[in-house]
Amino acid sequence: MVPLHTLEQNRHYPVLFACRLNTQYGSAVLLTLQTGENVNVKIYLPKRYADLIEDDHIEEINTGRKNYKLLYLGKAGSAYIINLEQ
């Protein structure tokens, strides 16, 4: 597990796997990203993004029907800015 801010800004990371978890803070989405040829990392999405991801999106990622990439754009104040793109 790595913090979101440790990702390189403006780089597209292929999303290999996604799952929704119930945590002490509510529902969360955990993504497995490919960061190198043989290197994968796991990150939790910020809650405001996790709330927007539907279970259909998670199923599309996990079955390979659609390929998503996470783009980390940095921070605005204390908020992390990301895009999840096809």
What pLDDT does 50 receive?
87
* β-strand pairing of 12-23 with 69-76: antiparallel
What is this structure's pTM?
0.92
| pLDDT tens digit at each of 86 positions of the chain | 899 999 999 999 999 999 999 989 889 999 999 998 889 999 999 999 988 999 999 999 999 999 999 999 999 999 999 999 99
Q: Of the candidates 64, 65, 23, which has an alpha carbon nearest to the alpha carbon of residue 45? A: 23
The structural domain count of the chain equals 1
How many Å is the Cα radius of gyration of the chain?
Answer: 12
Calpha distance 2→7 (Å, rounded): 8
Question: In which domain, by residue range, is 24 found?
Answer: 4-85
